[in-house]
Amino acid sequence: EPEVTQTPSHQVTQMGQEVILRCVPISNHLYFYWYRQILGQKVEFLVSFYNNEISEKSEIFDDQFSVERPDGSNFTLKIRSTKLEDSAMYFCASRPGYMNTEAFFGQGTRLTVV
Amino acid sequence: EDQVTQSPEALRLQEGESSSLNCSYTVSGLRGLFWYRQDPGKGPEFLFTLYSAGEEKEKERLKATLTKKESFLHITAPKPEDSATYLCAVQAGGATNKLIFGTGTLLAVQP
């Protein structure tokens, strides 16, 4: 069964360092997303990506964040200068692109900023 | 403001003891309501999509229903392997395609 894969599963980084979280969405899906979940809190939307550009972003997704689909299969989230409050589980998701269809999530990357 | 509220926050059941989880929502033009299951340290796993009031979906011991204000996830004769956090999410109408999640219900089924 096709699945969304994310790497790494766990990333520890020093405050102020740049991190790149990687995702391989399900093949032939057209919409891609990043969500995050701070420990004990709800899953929060960060950004959606369609047709090689950001289609929507939340207030959380400030200038420190960027997304890219560099090669037609990978989808990356970059945090330029990490802060302690960026520590969370980051989930990538993809959707086929049709109206009213479910999003499929990866297993997540646990980011710990120390 | 679009909002999703789930109750109870936590539920402990004995194996075989049926119950229901609630998801109430306030959203401008519901495009879809989604139920996910999340195991500890894992990503949300899709269970159901509901689109309109009166719709019902079933999968094994789970049945999801939808009204204009809330959705229920009914669990019939649960087993220990049903233990997980159940998340409800909505997609509003208009140009948005993001999901708005509730905080989830942590279900523990004891043998």
CA A82 to chain centre: 15
Q: Quick check: B12 pLDDT over 80?
A: yes
Q: Closest approach of chain A CAs to the CA of B1, in angstroms?
A: 14
At residue A104 the predicted structure's pLDDT band, cuts being 50, 70 and 90, is: very high
The share of chain B scoring above pLDDT 70, in percent, equals 100
What phi and psi values does residue A58 have, to the nearest 5 degrees? -95, 175
pLDDT the model gives residue B69: 94
At residue A91 the predicted structure's pLDDT band, cuts being 50, 70 and 90, is: very high
At residue A28 the predicted structure's pLDDT band, cuts being 50, 70 and 90, is: confident
* Residues in chain A within 8 Å Cβ distance of B100: 45
B52 touches chain A (CB under 8 A): no
Q: Closest approach of chain A CAs to the CA of B98, in angstroms?
A: 7
* Residues in chain A within 8 Å Cβ distance of B44: 43, 91, 105
The rounded distance, in Å, linking the Cα atoms of B11 and A102 is 26
Q: Which among B34, B36, B97 has the least Cβ separation from residue A56? A: B97
Q: Which amino acid is at A22?
A: R
pLDDT digits (tens, 9 = 90+) for B14-54: 999 999 999 999 998 888 999 999 999 999 999 999 999 99
State the average pLDDT over residues A78-101: 91
The rounded distance, in Å, linking the Cα atoms of A82 and B21 is 37
Distances (CA, A) of B57 to A59, B34, B109: 34, 11, 22
At residue B81 the predicted structure's pLDDT band, cuts being 50, 70 and 90, is: very high
A57, A8 in Cβ contact below 8 A?
A: no
Contacts of residue A30, defined as CB under 8 A and 6 or more positions apart, other chains included, come to A50, A51, A95, A96, A97
User: In the structure encoding, which two tokens stand for residue B76, read together?
Assistant: 């019939």
Contacts of residue B60, defined as CB under 8 A and 6 or more positions apart, other chains included, come to none
pLDDT the model gives residue B97: 83
pLDDT the model gives residue A100: 57
pLDDT digits (tens, 9 = 90+) for B96-106: 789 999 999 99
> Which residues are paired to A58 by β-bridges?
none
Q: Where are the beta strands (DSSP E) in chain A?
A: 5-7, 10-13, 19-24, 31-37, 44-50, 53-57, 65-68, 75-79, 88-95, 104-105, 109-113
Name, of A15-19, A69-73, A100-104, B24-28, the range with top average pLDDT: A15-19
pLDDT the model gives residue B80: 97
B15, B21 in Cβ contact below 8 A?
A: no
